[in-house]
């Protein structure tokens, strides 16, 4: 049986999708946010971090729960300043902000934490083709790239990439957040400028 519940006000919003087989919960997806999206606060199109303060998303599948809580007000400005994945300092700032303002937890439903999240930076290279006006040809140019990844840290000291468990990386998490906050903006008539996250491969 599928159920949907939602509650919205000018300062908070939440929704929950659940799917049961009899009395057994098979799947749940829920989200929540707090802020101030009243007409008086949104009439002059403020930046999203002046409207949305914090939020969370929870996935539950067959007794395993992934919960994410974030301080949106402090995280958004850093992500919004992310312009290229070729700037190591910029991407390291994103990593630091994620670890300070976003907490992901993997646990058995009802408690018993299995692992907690940790953002880290990886490096690689991309090849681009640059036009040489002297030879009238395009030549390959190798450039360094820096990517933000998420991993889970387990009590025994081992780690595993986040996508091993939820089939998504941090870029997809940002996509989910944008979708949720855009729904709030649509319902309350304010403008939400989505986070454009560059710290991932296109």
Q: In sequence order, what are the residues at sequence separation of 6 or more whose Cβ sits closer than 8 angstroms to the Cβ of residue 172?
A: none
Rounded to whole angstroms, how far apart are CA atoms 199 and 5?
Answer: 34
Question: How far is residue 56's CA from residue 67's CA, in Å, rounded to a whole number?
Answer: 7
pLDDT tens by residue, 95-146: 999 899 988 888 887 778 888 988 999 899 989 899 999 999 999 999 999 9
Nearest to 177 by CA among 55, 49, 77: 55
Query: What single DSSP character describes residue 165?
Result: H
pLDDT per residue over 69-86, tens digit each?
A: 889 899 888 887 766 788
Instruction: Work out the average pLDDT over 158-184.
Output: 67
Helix (H, G, I), strand (E, B) or coil at 124: strand
Longest dimension (CA), the chain: 73
Neighbours of 106 (CB within 10 A): 21
Write the pLDDT tens digit of every residue in 33-75: 999 988 888 888 888 888 889 988 887 877 788 888 889 899 8
- Write out the DSSP string of 125-153: EEEEEEEETTTTEEEEEEEEEEEEEEEEE
Q: Which H helix or E strand runs over 183?
A: helix 170-188
pLDDT(201) > 50:
no
By CB atoms closer than 10 A (0-12, 13-18, 19+), residue 14 is middle
* pTM for the predicted model, two decimal places: 0.69
């Amino acid at each position: 049986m599928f159920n949907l519940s939602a509650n919205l006000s000018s300062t908070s919003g939440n929704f929950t999708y659940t799917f049961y087989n009899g009395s057994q919960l098979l799947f749940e997806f829920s989200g929540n946010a707090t802020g101030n999206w009243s007409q008086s606060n949104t009439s002059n199109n403020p930046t999203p971090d002046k409207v949305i303060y914090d939020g969370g998303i929870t996935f539950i599948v067959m007794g395993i729960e992934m919960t994410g809580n974030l301080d949106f007000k402090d995280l958004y400005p850093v992500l919004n300043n992310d312009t290229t994945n070729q700037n190591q300092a910029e991407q390291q700032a994103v990593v630091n902000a994620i670890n300070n303002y976003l907490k992901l937890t993997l646990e058995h439903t009802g408690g018993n934490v299995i692992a907690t999240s940790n953002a880290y930076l990886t490096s690689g290279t991309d090849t681009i083709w640059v036009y040489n006006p002297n030879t009238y040809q395009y030549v390959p140019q190798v450039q360094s790239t820096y990517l933000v990844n998420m991993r889970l840290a387990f009590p025994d000291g081992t780690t595993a990439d986040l996508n091993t468990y939820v089939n998504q990386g941090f870029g997809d998490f940002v996509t989910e957040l944008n979708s949720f906050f855009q729904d709030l903006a649509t319902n309350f008539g304010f403008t939400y400028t989505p986070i454009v996250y560059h710290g991932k491969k296109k």
